[in-house]
Structure formats: C-alpha cells, structure tokens
Amino acid sequence: MPPVFWIGLGIAATIFFIGVVSGAKARTASVGTGAAIGAFLGVMLAFPLLAIGLATS
C-alpha cells in the first residue's frame, strides 16, 4: 500500500478515537454514539486519501 493510504487511515483512526473520548466525557451522549460519529466523520474526511491509496496499489 502507498504511504498516502496509511496517512488517510491514521487520520480516520485519530478522529474515531477523538469521537470515542468525547462521547465518553459527554453527559448526554454515550461511548457508542461518539464512536459512530467519530467513525463517520473520520472516514468522510480521510476518504480522498484512502481512495487514492487504494487506486494506486
């Protein structure tokens, strides 16, 4: 896999982790909600890098 794929995967994982932590600390949300939102936002933000990395492999 090209390095650009791993950069995109790292961005997605970081945003997922931030979503989990913020969901765990929130009073009105849960860890599951934070994980779901973090996964969605992480994949959406990193999608161009993931797509380029998969297309050039």
3-state secondary structure of 45: helix
Quote the tokens at residue 45. 């933000």
40-52 as b/e, with b when 16 or more CB fall inside 10 Å? eebbeebeebbee
pLDDT at 29: 87
- Residue 57: pLDDT band with limits 50, 70, 90: confident
pLDDT at 1: 79
pLDDT digits (tens, 9 = 90+) for 7-56: 999 999 999 999 999 999 999 989 999 999 999 999 999 999 999 999 99
Q: Does the predicted TM-score (pTM) go above 0.75?
A: yes
Rg (CA), the chain: 13
Q: The tokens 């970081």 sit on which residue?
A: 14
Nearest-angstrom CA–CA distance, 10 and 32: 20
pLDDT at 36: 95
